[in-house]
Amino acid sequence: MPHHDLPDVDSAHRALDEASTRSLDSSHDRWVHGLACAGFGVLIGANVGVLRLARGTEYYSWISLGSLALLVALAFWESRATRTWPRRARRTGWFGLGGSVLLAAIGHGILNTVYREDPGPLPVLVLASAVVASPLLVAGHLVARGGRR
């Protein structure tokens, strides 16, 4: 019993050739993933300084919860706004995230050691936040630009 609704071999080969030449890498997806990486960096970096300033206040828990909610919302937006992961974008983002989290842990440790009772001077907190954010900001730039050229 022949199946007449199946394509013939030649049309299947043409369709496969056409699909293999199409790029999955879109500038929109690169831009969204790059912006999300940068946004994660800004949120994680700002967390370092803002949580130091809020230490010992009734706002500390609310700030922690709010920053977590923003991170989840950003991840949700990133997943809904894109259809593909551009080449090397996922790996670059993970390296950026690892660098920022490592620097956040080191930064918290140093700030807790040097400034035990007070939050610390505002310029030091801003600098620590910027250093923590930098790996994800660089990753975001690389992803948005398209990686190696």
Taking the CA atoms of the chain, what radius of gyration do you get in angstroms?
Answer: 22
Q: What integer pLDDT is reported at residue 147 of this predicted model? A: 54
pTM equals: 0.79
Do 144 and 82 touch, CB atoms closer than 8 A? no
Specify the residue for token string 């660089």: 138
From residue 93, how far is each of 65, 77, 85 by CA, in Å? 23, 16, 11
The span from the CA of 49 to the CA of 52, in Å, is: 5
Element housing 14 (H / E): helix 9-21
The span from the CA of 37 to the CA of 26, in Å, is: 17
Tell me the two tokens of residue 36: 């999300």
Residue-wise pLDDT for 42-96, tens only, equals 999 999 999 999 988 999 999 999 999 999 999 999 999 988 888 889 999 999 9
Residue-wise pLDDT for 16-40, tens only, equals 776 655 555 678 899 999 999 999 9
